[in-house]
């Protein structure tokens, strides 16, 4: 079934290129804006428990930003097979550049792989939902 058969417009190649570059910039930018600047771990003086460096509000804000960017890109005509992988790679690269610089153990690689798989799953699920809802509304 083609996009025309389900009432979805075909996007020119330039929309895919510009959309992909925009998704990449906004994805990496969301890392830097919400969490990339925070490197402070906190120690509870009563329990000596270490937490951080990120607060819950930063993680939620970043996740919501990524969700809005992906949904907007899909609704504006960027194909899922452009937007989803570009977001995943750009965000993971931004995170990895920060983590690699601060890690002496090499364990940032495990985090990068976990983030890559998690974002792949998340962006795929969101893309499926958005495209399904879009097809339903086109009927």
59's tokens: 């993680």
Does any domain span residue 84? yes
* Enclosing domain of residue 67: 13-138
Residue 55 lies in a domain: yes
Looking at per-residue pLDDT, the higher value among 29 and 45 belongs to: 29
Please tell me the pTM assigned to this model. Answer: 0.85
50 phi, psi to nearest 5 deg:
-100, 135
Residue 7 lies in a domain: no
Residue 44 resides in a domain: yes
Give a yes or no: residue 2 inside a domain.
no
Per-residue model confidence as pLDDT tens digits over 86-136: 999 999 999 999 989 888 888 999 999 999 999 999 999 999 999 999 999
In a domain, 119, yes or no: yes
Question: H helices of 13-79, where?
Answer: 13-31, 56-75
For the segment 13-25, what is each residue's pLDDT rounded down to a tens digit?
Answer: 998 999 999 999 9
**47: cis peptide before it, omega within 30°?**
no
pLDDT class of 6 with cuts at 50, 70, 90: very low
What is the count of structural domains for the chain?
A: 1
Identify the residue with better confidence: 73 or 105: 73
Report how far apart the first and last C-alpha atoms of the chain are (Å, whole number).
14
User: Cβ of 109: how many Cβ atoms within 10 Å?
Assistant: 13
Q: How far is CA 64 from CA 3, 57, 100, 135, in A?
A: 28, 10, 25, 23
Q: Is residue 127 part of a domain?
A: yes
Position 72 in a domain = yes
Structure tokens at 78: 């960027």
The residue among 52 and 15 whose pLDDT is bigger is: 15
Which structure tokens are listed for 21? 């570059």
């Amino acid at each position: 079934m083609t996009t025309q058969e389900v009432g979805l417009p075909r996007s020119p190649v330039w929309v895919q290129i510009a959309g992909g570059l925009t998704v990449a910039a906004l994805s990496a930018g969301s890392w830097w804006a919400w969490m990339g600047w925070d490197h402070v771990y906190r120690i509870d003086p009563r329990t000596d428990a270490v937490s951080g460096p990120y607060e819950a509000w930063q993680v939620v804000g970043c996740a919501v930003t990524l969700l809005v960017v992906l949904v907007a890109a899909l609704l504006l005509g960027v194909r899922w097979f452009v937007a989803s992988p570009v977001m995943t790679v750009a965000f993971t690269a931004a995170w990895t550049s920060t983590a690699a610089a601060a890690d002496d153990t090499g364990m940032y690689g495990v985090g990068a792989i976990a983030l890559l798989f998690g974002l792949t799953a998340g962006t795929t699920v969101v893309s499926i939902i958005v495209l399904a809802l879009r097809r339903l509304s086109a009927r």
